[in-house]
Amino acid sequence: MAGAAGCMLCKCSARRNLYAFSELFSETRKIRHGFRHFRNATMVPLIPSGKGISKRKSAMAKRAHVSRVIVRSVYDGMSNEVPELKLVKASMDAREKSRSLTLKSSKQKRVPVFVMMPLDSVGVDTLGAPRIRKMKALSVSLKALKLAGVHGIAVEVWWGIVERISPLGYDWSLYEELFKLISEVGLKLHIALCFHSNVHLSSPERGLVSLPLWIQKIGSVDRDIYYRDQNGFSSEDCLSLGVDELPLFCGRTALQCYEDFIFNFLGKFDSLIGHVIEELSIGLGPDGELRYPAHPYADGRWRFPGIGEFQCFDKYMMEDLRSAACRLGKPQWGEKGPLDAGCYNSFPFGVPFFEGGEKSFLSDYGHFFLEWYSGKLIRHADAIIGKTADMLKKYQQDEKTSVLLVVKIGVIYWWYKTLSHAAELTAGYYNTAQRDGYDSLASVLLSHGAALHLS
């Protein structure tokens, strides 16, 4: 369906759910790779309807029943034209086609449309100060979007901006100004708390957001706080799961850093929760998705449709793997990651680990490793989402202030029709032709009343 501003909107049918990924693969990735000025975001409700549901979950279920749609800002990518003039024209077109943005489900319920803020809307200037860019264009576009029938704005709140200088030194001034600007227009907010970097996504002039400077300082001494592949190359976009419970960050663990940030955010914007801020997405990995950075396209290591590489070779992940193997009585299984698993741009055919044999994904060793590798992701999500859900309990008691908690995962669709689903395995999703790898994740999200965002 075409949106009012010339974007494509994807409305998922009521029968699509967590276990129907094959229906979403082609369409979702066509959007992700083929069109650069908008984003599809399908929310999959995980809250069952019926008796026996808590009041908190019931309130969230009403919000999650209808899929959300998130698209990029209408002026994103218009650098060669005057944004204000383009937006005025877009708003006029939008008013004529507003019905295409107020999509309706089979039960005639309105589907909220959230427009994504452009990557360069906020950032850190050359002096190191956080600031909002293109204020005039932003103000005009917000009014145009409101007239077009858009429900709200999706805003990324960056760890590398708010806690940039020092541990626990939170500076929310940029977002206070931005949220006020958006709410005064009458738009709602979908907030994505980002604990990753977008440095690999943009050119310098677009305003990069790195991890906090104090985190980078620690990383310059101990590079194993970042993920490493089998060749020792590190990914500095987010912290390794291996440091989740290690007090390496000025006396705090990585999980404590994330939890403190979320707690401080909720305290700072308490009056907006449920009224203006309707949805809260928690970043759990690269690009905010719950996965490993197994397909690093920006630096040229990976190209579609390569299977990617396992990201477990930093010393902290390897120590955890060795401990898991010893507990099982198989210390030899913890010596290193999978052998013969190919490289980033391999195809699964002819790669021993993804076919058959003594050390393949079908072997006892393969099952052990993949259970451990995917289990680290699930425990990471359980820890952070569980803490966040506890913090939100006071808001969920009243439907008027309830907020939808969201977890984002990547739709890794290539090689889906092979036996191993190799690209999913390297990303951390233990999903094969013989095993449902998403059931345990869905159970964790359901237990915390969270919705699933397929990116």
Q: What is the pLDDT of residue 50?
A: 39
Q: What is the pLDDT of residue 71?
A: 61
Q: What is the pLDDT of residue 12?
A: 35
Q: What is the pLDDT of residue 455?
A: 81
Q: Do residues 113 and 104 make contact, with C-beta atoms less than 8 angstroms apart?
A: no
Q: What is the pLDDT of residue 339?
A: 81
Q: What is the 3-state secondary structure (H, E, C) of 39-100?
A: CCCEEECCCCCCCCCCHHHHHHHHHHCCCCEEEECCCCCCCCCCHHHHHHHHHHHHHHCHHH
Q: What is the pLDDT of residue 397?
A: 81
* Half-sphere exposure at residue 195, Cβ-oriented, CA atoms within 13 angstroms: 23
Q: Do residues 346 and 307 make contact, with C-beta atoms less than 8 angstroms apart?
A: yes
Output the tens digit of pLDDT for each of the chain's 455 residues.
333 333 333 333 333 333 333 333 344 444 344 333 333 444 544 444 333 333 334 333 443 334 456 665 544 443 344 344 344 344 444 444 444 444 444 444 678 889 998 877 887 777 778 888 888 889 999 999 999 999 999 999 999 999 999 999 999 999 999 999 999 999 999 999 999 998 876 554 455 889 999 999 999 999 999 999 999 999 889 999 999 999 999 999 999 999 999 999 999 999 999 889 999 999 999 999 999 999 998 888 899 999 999 999 999 999 999 999 999 999 999 988 898 999 999 999 989 999 877 789 999 999 999 999 999 999 999 999 999 999 999 888 877 778 999 999 999 999 999 999 999 999 999 999 999 999 999 999 999 999 998 88
**Model confidence, pTM:** 0.78
Q: What is the pLDDT of residue 198?
A: 84
Which residue type sits at 144?
A
Residue 201 burial by Cβ neighbours in a 10 Å radius (0-12, 13-18, 19+): middle
Closest CA to 311 of 386, 254, 234: 234
CA–CA dist 202, 154 (Å, integer): 19
Where are the strands (E) in 143-275, listed by range? 152-158, 188-194, 226-228, 234-239
Q: What is the pLDDT of residue 109?
A: 63
Which domains are present in the chain?
21-311+374-454 (3.20.20.80)
Residue with tokens 């994103």: 76
CA–CA dist 243, 195 (Å, integer): 14
Q: What is the pLDDT of residue 265?
A: 97
Residue with tokens 């006071």: 394
Q: What is the pLDDT of residue 290?
A: 96
What's the token pair of residue 267?
């305290």
